[in-house]
Amino acid sequence: MDKMTLRGMQFFGYHGVVPEENRLGQRFGLELELHLDLHQAEKSDDLSQTVNYAEVYALVKAAVEGPPSKLIEAVAGRVASAVLDTYTIINEVTVRLTKPHPPFDIHFDGVTVELRRKRDADGRVVPV
């Protein structure tokens, strides 16, 4: 299976358990791996044979900058579902969502959750 990766995406959201996170918001980093067959796009040089990554970016932005969630796991799941529901050409997606500055007295580069989802034989989205 071929892979398309969107790296270094940055969004502003209001996600977190601490009330200040929901009020003040913060930046979130996101990386997205899309597993799909790119053979026809390669041969035809035709955008309709692949996914338009500008449209994928807009979809991800709407999911991350949308309604607040307590957990980044929920936000990552919303991203995975939105991508797979919108693009049937995509067989599997990996979402890596990073909260760079959790509001705790700890010093590190952030916390990242990684979710992998794919379509099963019946077309349902399931964890990998």
Q: Which residues are catalytic?
A: 99
Helices and strands: H and E segment counts in the chain: 4, 5
Give 30's contacts (C-beta < 8 A, 6+ positions apart).
6, 9, 10, 11, 60, 64, 79, 95, 96, 97, 98
Q: What are phi and psi of 121, to 5 degrees?
A: -60, -25
Question: Among 97, 17, 90, which Cα is nearest to 55's?
Answer: 90
**How far is residue 32 CA from its own chain's centroid?**
5
Pairwise CA distance, residues 116 & 33, whole Å: 9
